[in-house]
Amino acid sequence: MKIAFCCTDTRPEPWLQGLSAALPQADIQVWQPGMAPFDYAVVWAPPQQFIDEQPGLRALFNIGAGVDGLLKLRLPPGLAVVRLEDAGMSVQMAEYVCHALIRHFREFDAYEASARQGQWSFRKPRSRADFPVGIMGLGVLGRRVAQAVAQFGFPVNGWSRAPRALDGVQTYSGPQGLQDFLAASRVLVNLLPLTPDTENILNHDTLGRLQPGGYLINVARGAHLVDADLLALLDAGQLAGATLDVFRTEPLPAQHPFWQHPKITVTPHTSARTLRGETIAQVAGKIARLARQEPITGVVDVARGY
């Protein structure tokens, strides 16, 4: 079995070592233009040339959960695109979102500012009931985040494409459920895939429907958010703040207003990193199953976009 490794911005050696250890019978090589056909590929942001030169692949394993970049390429019809399912990301996402939520809810920024001035000053406790959290996307990551947020006692709402039932979560679905979901939420967490249906979904209209003092945590993709609409709502005082991990252009350009905005916290697309060990174990396990003609999970519905 031949496996190509074609991951932009990734040092290949430790991946090749790990994959070879997990699949000792496989011949695993870093792809170069002009190479002979492979059976499987492990990819991150591969060039179109790779896809064009390897029309006979049995499956393409993306080493991330989001496949929006991959689906922009021209892929042969019927090629199985496989996304990462959790692989250590959901707990990181839960940590990140709970941190951002609690930092805002408990006003830790204000405490930090007071402490820097040597002030011992209390703020009035706020009620969790006044901070319902709305999670857009109830997939692998959204479900884990919803569970973690609920354990802190916040009311939790969730929104998905198809109706979903989740313990402790008030769920909404589809375009018809979106307005009620937003109106019931004060803190909005975005964990949607980027598709034609969800691009620009965080805009003046949707963000403006959150409860007063709304707060945005965007951990999915930068193109979900209309940057100027967020700035306008923050500057008008309609939203209280935002924590943003993903951006339309990454790295976020030095002159972008998000960097300096007093109500925005920026992190460098780090909320849930791909962990090499977990990823190799998952991908190798699935390749082994496919080689034995067994079914696998995590195959992307290309027409749906996730």
Ligand X SMILES: NC(=O)c1ccc[n+]([C@@H]2O[C@H](COP(=O)([O-])OP(=O)(O)OC[C@H]3O[C@@H](n4cnc5c(N)ncnc54)[C@H](OP(=O)(O)O)[C@@H]3O)[C@@H](O)[C@H]2O)c1
Instruction: Report, as residue numbers or ranges, the catalytic residues.
Output: 221, 269
Judged by CB under 6 A, the residue of 197, 205, 235, 250 near ligand X is: 197
The pair phi, psi for residue 233, each rounded to 5°, is -70, -35
DSSP letters, 113-147, are HHHHTT---------GGG--EEEE--SHHHHHHHH
The verdict on 198 binding ligand X (CB under 6 A) reads yes
Judged by CB under 6 A, the residue of 134, 139, 155, 214 near ligand X is: 139
What are the residues whose beta carbons fall under 8 Å from the beta carbon of 251, sequence distance 6 or more? Answer: 268
Shortest distance in whole angstroms from residue 29 CB to ligand X: 27
The verdict on 248 binding ligand X (CB under 6 A) reads no
Give the residue at shortest CB distance from ligand X: 139
Shortest distance in whole angstroms from residue 72 CB to ligand X: 13
How far apart are the C-alpha atoms of 302 and 255, rounded to whole Å? 36
The verdict on 242 binding ligand X (CB under 6 A) reads no
Which span sits near ligand X by CB under 6 A: 39-47, 193-201, 205-213, 287-295? 193-201
The verdict on 160 binding ligand X (CB under 6 A) reads yes
Question: Strands (DSSP E) along the chain, which ranges?
Answer: 2-7, 27-30, 40-44, 59-62, 80-82, 133-136, 156-160, 170-173, 187-190, 214-218, 239-244, 264-266
Binding to ligand X in span 1-60, by CB under 6 A: none
Which span sits near ligand X by CB under 6 A: 13-21, 22-30, 158-166, 278-286? 158-166
